[in-house]
Amino acid sequence: MYQQAKYDEPLLNEINGEDEKEISVDVPDKLKRKSLNIPNLEEWQVVRHYTRLSQMNYGVDINTYPLGSCTMKYNPKLNEEIAKWFSYLHPYQEESTVQGALQIMYELQEMLKKITDMDDFTLQPAAGAHGEFTGMLLVRAYHEYKGELEKRRNVLLPDSAHGTNPASAAMAGFNVIEIPSNEKGMVDLEALEAATDDTTAAFMITNPNTLGIFEEEILEIAKIMHKNGALLYYDGANLNAIMGITSPGIMGFDIVHLNLHKTFSTPHGGGGPGSGPVGVRGELVDFLPVPIVRYDGEKYYLDYDVKHTIGKVRSFYGNFGVMVKAWAYIKRLGGEGLKNATIRAVLNSNYLKERIKGYYELPHKDLRKHEFVVKPKNARALDVAKRLLDFGVHAPTVYFPLIVHEALMIEPTESENKETLDKFADIMIQIAKEAEENPKLLEEAPHNTAIKRVDDVLAARKPVLTWKDKR
Amino acid sequence: MKDMDDMLKYLGMSSWEELFSDIPKEVWKKGIDIEAMDEISVYRYAKELAAKNKDIFDMPNFLGAGIYTHYIPPAVLEIVGRSEFYTSYTPYQPEISQGMLQTLFEYQSVIAELTGMDVANSSMYDSHTSLGEAARMAYRMNRRKEVLVPENLYWEKESVLKNYISGLGMHVKKYPLNERGMVALDELQELVNENTAMVYVENPNFFGVIDEGVDEIKDILGKAIYTVGVNPLSLAVLKPPADYGADIVIGEGQILGNPISFGGPLLGIFATRKQYVRKMPGRLIGETVDADGRRAFVMTLQTREQHIRRGKATSNICSNEALCAVFSVAFVAYYGANGLKELAKKNMDNARMLMEKLRNAGFNAPIFDAKHFNEFLVELPKNPHEISKELLKHGVHGGLPINAGCYRNVPNSMLLATTEMIREEDMDKLVSALKEVS
């Protein structure tokens, strides 16, 4: 069985180092710093400290990481290597000295257009949620330009939406209205039609949705929006399910954000950096943030001349280092490779679902895309998740989407084969049996990780947020 | 793959197309027209593109303006390159993610030490979005709608700020700087009123000036929130903003150990006082115990965040810049307090050396009569954009060109940054080239 490394590793400031020294610096006396409480260590002390900590951390390089809606696919090492070659470029360098970097951005924009069938892209947003926020600012600017922002105050989204959707819409100043799902796990069309009128600014949806179910009525949804003068927004978190099969453009979406750190294999870095390019169609291209990289036949340049631009949503040009990795990934796979990744991801998901559905409840319909949601028959989702860790696999996303109680949201991605999926399924089945025969095993899990189950109530009740706080 | 047929058979399917039978035929796509390349070809192609760029090792470069080219010690790269760190997701399962959680807790602690504040979050996207989030937080604290910013706030930062606050109906107003390039305190005082949500002050500011008035601002603000933007390296030698009354401290964390990487990924620093923690955006790591009573770390106070609070969250941020925070804490640990102080001093000494060389060559530098950190304005006799291009012919890249008229009291000039990556010979090269093209 699995056993994670377990060190009693001190905090950085608990490691003994050299004493602090005073130095004389040319700053105004009243603004001079007196002391700085950061330890003075040798390089080997620092490297050992963080190497030990890294060994108490689980990454996709270790084993299966089936977090639903997170697309934890393998991160090819080629991409990591290439990104290093662009480390020491400043974004304000003269264009003639950064032609290679600009070409990568340009080629990435062009490739994303081909994948999504949108007319233009900005690479500026730093993450998926930041892309959503940018998209909502575009919705705002578009309706303002049309003189309709005063009345178009509402953004609609399904009750299965990612939490970032309502948060992004609200941040851009919209009211958020949730549309219920029907018994098949898809948007209730009647409810959507009834809620849509000239107060509607946009409808945000991911397709397939967070249940892993394809919204079969997507063309009808697009029609309802456009008939009412509203825009259709594609949350690209689940793009891994449709690459090369269909696209947001074909489905009638006006604005789309992608997650380079999900679909295009760039590593998640323990929470980030990501990158959330936003693509648009038609009139919306005139509202994109500046600059956009263009090519005049001889050289690449930064175009700040966008007619009704919303300005900037982030400094410089976005998370360039992440773009380089996604660029390398797409170049390597090509269109056919991307399509095969999607086919494999959907096959893996359905195979895994089929293997475990006798042991877990599968609400709604059977055929899923790249992910699916089940619930335990006789245990809490949290306990199943914790028990999974004991077997050296990461847990799925739990308690999401909110419309399924005790949800386990499972996305195996294409980076698994039948053998590793069978192993995972066997573990899931064993846990379902343990829940029956020896529920304590689940309730007291995990046993094999660096620490036992954490007390998160204590953490929130009496927050200790830095080493300056004492418990 | 060879197992595909078995798996399809298990599903009772005869072809992969059946996996997509729920997708209406009208929306099927005829493939993606992108050619695949083998691994070596991608490697070679990327090498060719990299060779089209001139980075700081190919040509000395005096650009800064918010992000800076510092040396990244290989020990830092080695730590961040641990794939247990960089291939992990957000630590939703704390028991199997203690390494990242403790590291981010240490990052929060290091930022709290540098800024003097009680609490720092585990990262925002960059300093610009940190400023936007700070203004939104100020609104949550006092329900006021005007944000006062310095007249030399760079237009890009102002644009990001405006986009962040437009949904709240907030707006931006500028306050003037005095003849030394510092906050004009009397004028600021007149502008502060019951509509002022927040006053934003940068120290050192966009012109590199260390502002000597920062400790006289808190007293004139009343209920307005005092937000200070910092260069975190400068805090190795400068008084922490908490000591002069800051309510929120933001800054660009890239400076601490992150590659400049053509402008991203970067790292937004965000710190505040403990009493405001529940109004704060972004992820927080807290200390707690496990079932055996051992010290443990976990994401906490999550009821502020989008996955719980949805439309009522303090921010929509989800993916952040966690790995950049690992860069930063490893960098700070590598240097230690003493090393950071020496590094800050080296940056300042370089600025002073370059100023002197420029003055000896007949240039006005710095334009403002003030102490500067590692960046300053040099006055130029003609269009600085032209000069910037001409400098390239002399094998040196200048700083950020600033046209006369962009800022009150600033003539044609260039904003020059001097980190520890700048050698004396680089300065000589710049000065003689500037002389020649001016």
Q: Give me the number of domains chain A comprises.
A: 3
Span A78-90, pLDDT tens digits: 999 999 999 999 9
Residue A38 and residue A82 in one domain: no
Residue B214 and residue B275 in one domain: yes
Nearest alpha carbon to residue B287 among B113, B123, B109, B124 = B109
Pairing of strands A175-179, A154-158: parallel
Residue B383 and residue B279 in one domain: no
The predicted structure's pLDDT at residue B306:
86
Per the CB < 8 A criterion, the answer to whether A404 and A209 are in contact is no
The predicted structure's pLDDT at residue A471:
66
- Residues in A closer than 8 angstroms to B389, CB to CB, are 94, 96
CB spacing of B336 vs A96 below 8 angstroms: no
Confidence of residue A280 (pLDDT cuts 50, 70, 90): very high
Residue A155 and residue A29 in one domain: no
Q: Residue A364 has what DSSP assignment?
A: S
CATH of the domain at A99: 3.40.640.10
User: What six digits make up the tokens of B295?
Assistant: 């010290």
Burial class (CB in 10 A: 0-12, 13-18, 19+), B133: buried
Q: Give me the number of domains chain B comprises.
A: 2
CATH of the domain at B187: 3.40.640.10
Between A and B, how many residue pairs show a Cβ–Cβ distance under 8 A? 633
Q: Is residue A270 part of a domain?
A: yes
Q: Is residue B35 part of a domain?
A: no
Distance in Å, alpha carbon of B123 to nearest chain A alpha carbon: 9
From B315, B330, B345, the end of a domain falls on B330
Residue B311 and residue B240 in one domain: yes
Distance in Å, alpha carbon of B192 to nearest chain A alpha carbon: 24
What contacts A133, CB < 8 A, 6 or more positions away?
A125, A168, A171, A172, A313, B316
CB-CB: which of A17, A97, A417 is closest to B54?
A97
Structural domain of B346:
336-437
Residue B217 and residue B324 in one domain: yes
Residue A236 and residue A378 in one domain: no
Q: Is residue A67 part of a domain?
A: no
The predicted structure's pLDDT at residue B305:
87
Q: Is residue A41 part of a domain?
A: yes
d(C-alpha B44, C-alpha A289), whole Å: 32
User: What six digits make up the tokens of B325?
Assistant: 């925070």
Tell me the three state secondary structure of residue B250: strand
Q: Tokens 């967070």 sit at which residue?
A: A210
The predicted structure's pLDDT at residue B311:
86
One-letter amino acid of B377:
L
Residue A358 and residue A319 in one domain: no
DSSP structure string for B364-378: --SSSSS-BSSEEEE
Residue B425 and residue B300 in one domain: no
Mutate to test the interface with A, among B38, B71, B95, B300 (most CBs of A within 10 A): B95
Residue A176 and residue A205 in one domain: yes
Per the CB < 8 A criterion, the answer to whether A150 and A114 are in contact is no
User: What six digits make up the tokens of B98?
Assistant: 């203690």
Residue B311 and residue B341 in one domain: no
d(C-alpha A67, C-alpha B376), whole Å: 48
Q: Is residue A66 part of a domain?
A: no
The conformational region for residue B249 under phi > 0 = left, psi -120 to 50 = alpha, else beta, is beta
Residue B162 and residue B131 in one domain: yes
Q: Is residue B213 part of a domain?
A: yes
CB spacing of B7 vs A335 below 8 angstroms: no
Return mean pLDDT, chain A: 97
CB spacing of A85 vs B103 below 8 angstroms: no
Residue B144 and residue B221 in one domain: yes
Residue A109 and residue A47 in one domain: no
Structural domain of A325:
77-332
The predicted structure's pLDDT at residue A255:
98
From A280, A308, A332, the end of a domain falls on A332
Q: Is residue A441 part of a domain?
A: yes
From B330, B356, B391, the end of a domain falls on B330
Pairing of strands A255-257, A231-235: parallel
Per the CB < 8 A criterion, the answer to whether A166 and A235 are in contact is no
What mean pLDDT comes out for the span A385-405? 96
Residue A237 and residue A100 in one domain: yes
Mutate to test the interface with B, among A19, A52, A57 (most CBs of B within 10 A): A57
Q: Is residue A466 part of a domain?
A: no
CB spacing of B236 vs A36 below 8 angstroms: yes
Residue A197 and residue A88 in one domain: yes
- Residues in B closer than 8 angstroms to A291, CB to CB, are none
Q: Residue A183 has what DSSP assignment?
A: T
Q: Is residue A437 part of a domain?
A: yes
Residue B326 and residue B340 in one domain: no
d(C-alpha B100, C-alpha B108), whole Å: 12
Q: Give the torsion through C-alpha atoms of A154, A159, A165, A167, to 10 deg.
A: 80
Nearest alpha carbon to residue A105 among A294, A257, A275, A239 = A294
Query: What is the C-alpha R_g of chain A?
Result: 24
Q: Is residue B111 part of a domain?
A: yes
d(C-alpha B121, C-alpha A129), whole Å: 18
The predicted structure's pLDDT at residue A1:
83
The predicted structure's pLDDT at residue B2:
84
Q: Is residue B246 part of a domain?
A: yes
Q: Is residue B263 part of a domain?
A: yes
Residue A326 and residue A349 in one domain: no
- Tens place of pLDDT per residue across chain B (438 aa): 789 999 999 999 999 999 999 999 999 999 999 999 999 999 999 999 999 999 999 999 999 999 999 999 999 999 999 999 999 999 999 999 999 999 999 999 999 999 999 999 999 999 999 999 999 999 999 999 999 999 999 999 999 999 999 999 999 999 999 999 999 999 999 999 999 999 999 999 999 999 999 999 999 999 999 999 999 999 999 999 999 999 999 999 999 999 999 999 999 999 999 999 999 999 999 999 999 999 999 999 998 888 888 888 999 999 999 999 999 999 999 999 999 999 999 999 999 999 999 999 999 999 999 999 999 999 999 999 999 999 999 999 999 999 999 999 899 999 999 999 999 999 999 999 999 998
CB spacing of A115 vs B32 below 8 angstroms: yes
Tell me the three state secondary structure of residue A396: coil
Q: Is residue B232 part of a domain?
A: yes
From B330, B361, B386, the end of a domain falls on B330
Q: Is residue A465 part of a domain?
A: no
A203-242: b (≥16 Cβ within 10 Å) or e: bbbbbbbbbbbbbbbbebbbebbeeebbbbbbbbbbbbbb
- Residues in B closer than 8 angstroms to A417, CB to CB, are 1, 3
Distance in Å, alpha carbon of B74 to nearest chain A alpha carbon: 10
Per the CB < 8 A criterion, the answer to whether B259 and A88 are in contact is yes
Q: Please tell me which residue, A217 or B438, carries the higher pLDDT value.
A: A217
Span A406-418, pLDDT tens digits: 999 999 999 999 9
From A332, A366, A400, the end of a domain falls on A332
Per the CB < 8 A criterion, the answer to whether A133 and B316 are in contact is yes
Residue B152 and residue B115 in one domain: yes
| Backbone dihedral angles phi then psi of residue B186, each to the nearest 5 degrees | -65, -45
Residue A83 and residue A50 in one domain: no
Tell me the three state secondary structure of residue B136: helix
Kind plus residue range of the DSSP H or E element containing B48: helix B39-51
- Residues in A closer than 8 angstroms to B127, CB to CB, are 315
Kind plus residue range of the DSSP H or E element containing A82: helix A77-84
pTM beyond 0.80, yes or no: yes
Per the CB < 8 A criterion, the answer to whether B253 and A272 are in contact is no
β-sheet with A408-410: strand ranges across: A360-361, A372-376, A408-410, A397-398
Q: Is residue B296 part of a domain?
A: yes
CATH of the domain at A356: 3.90.1150.10
The predicted structure's pLDDT at residue B1:
73
Residue B202 and residue B307 in one domain: yes
| Backbone dihedral angles phi then psi of residue A282, each to the nearest 5 degrees | 60, -135
Q: Is residue B23 part of a domain?
A: no
Residue B344 and residue B323 in one domain: no
CB-CB: which of A132, A270, A400 is closest to B85?
A270
Residue A347 and residue A308 in one domain: no
Residue A94 and residue A47 in one domain: no
Q: Give the torsion through C-alpha atoms of A454, A459, A462, A467, to 10 deg.
A: 100
Q: Give the torsion through C-alpha atoms of A220, A221, A227, A228, to 10 deg.
A: 160
